[in-house]
Chains A and B, each alone.
Chain A
Amino acid sequence: GAVVSQHPSRVICKSGTSVKIECRSLDFQATTMFWYRQFPKQSLMLMATSNEGSKATYEQGVEKDKFLINHASLTLSTLTVTSAHPEDSSFYICSARPIPGTSGGSYEQYFGPGTRLTVT
């Protein structure tokens, strides 16, 4: 149980184009999903918290107009990198937390396999 998928796993795009990444919780519902970014040999940095039915909460320094987040249902959140540039190349990872009360009081997060974005 507690499986999270991401699509695509790898994407190469040209500078100036937009890329959408999907994050799905396959066997549980999640009112809250998180988007992280990881540069090579570094830790994960939280970009934003995605909340079903409301606006995402962005971490300081993350441009909300560049990284558009939509949490359309209890099993799907999307991250769109708009007007991508080479400096946006990174490994993007999402996570999901089961709805409170359905996981025995745990706040455990489950992670997707990640999306490697390369902007040329």
Chain B
Amino acid sequence: GIQVEQSPPDLILQEGANSTLRCNFSDSVNNLQWFHQNPWGQLINLFYIPSGTKQNGRLSATTVATERYSLLYISSSQTTDSGVYFCAGGLSGGYQKVTFGTGTKLQVIP
């Protein structure tokens, strides 16, 4: 099956700083999402981005499908951005199941 690696595994930021999270896939995917898992365990959808670039406020994401990676940018980080960020991807055939990445734990300090 597809292997998904995320980097860095842990990240500590000063409030206001910018960061880039990366997601690498072992094989091509055409179904890719980014999530933020809050301290209560809820997964919040950030982006559905099988290719191209999208922006939503201080967050943006870029997927380069041909090179099998995706990036999540967080600008002007806030303490509420703390949590674990996951990417998940798969192929849009069959039941479109996805494989989750290893996660990046982000802590934003005041």
Contacts and interface: CB of A to CB of B under 8 A. Distances in A.
Interface of A: 2, 32, 34, 36, 38, 43-46, 49, 51, 57, 91, 93, 95, 97, 106-111, 113-114, 116
Interface of B: 31, 33, 35, 40-43, 45, 48, 86, 88, 92, 95-103
B98 A109 contact: yes
Contacts of A38: 41
B43 A46 contact: no
B22 to A, nearest CB: 15
B102 A57 contact: no
Given A107-B31, A108-B33, A108-B48, A49 B86 contact: no
A43 B97 contact: no
B47 to A, nearest CB: 9
Contacts of B42: 111, 113-114
Given A95-B43, A109-B88, 10 more contacts: A34-B97, A43-B101, A44-B43, A107-B48, A108-B33, A108-B48, A111-B35, A111-B42, A111-B45, A114-B41
**Top 10 A-B residue pairs of the complex, sorted by shortest distance between their CB atoms:** A111-B43, A108-B48, A107-B31, A114-B41, A107-B96, A44-B100, A49-B95, A43-B100, A113-B42, A107-B92
Given A51-B95, A107-B96, A114-B42, A43 B102 contact: yes
Contacts of A51: 95
